Amino acid sequence: MDTVFEHSAGGIVLTDDGRLVILRTRNLKDEPVFALPKGHLHPGETARQAARREVTEETGYLVDHVTGPARTVSYWFVRDGIRVRKRVDFFRFVVVGGDPTDHDFEIDEVLALEPGEGAALLTYKSERTIALRALENRQEHGA
- The mean of the pLDDT values for the chain is 91
The pLDDT tens digits for 62-108 are 999 987 767 899 988 888 899 999 999 999 999 999 999 999 999 99
Domain interval for residue 117: 3-141
The per-residue pLDDT for range 21-57, each reduced to its tens digit, is: 999 999 988 999 999 999 999 999 999 999 999 999 9
Task: Give strand ranges (E) for the chain.
Answer: 3-14, 20-26, 32-35, 38-40, 61-65, 71-79, 82-98, 109-113
User: Do residues 18 and 143 make contact, with C-beta atoms less than 8 angstroms apart?
Assistant: no
Share of the chain above pLDDT 70, in %: 94
pTM over 0.85? The answer is yes
What CATH number has the domain bearing residue 95? 3.90.79.10
Domains: count for the chain? 1
Over the Cα atoms of the chain, what is R_g? Answer: 15
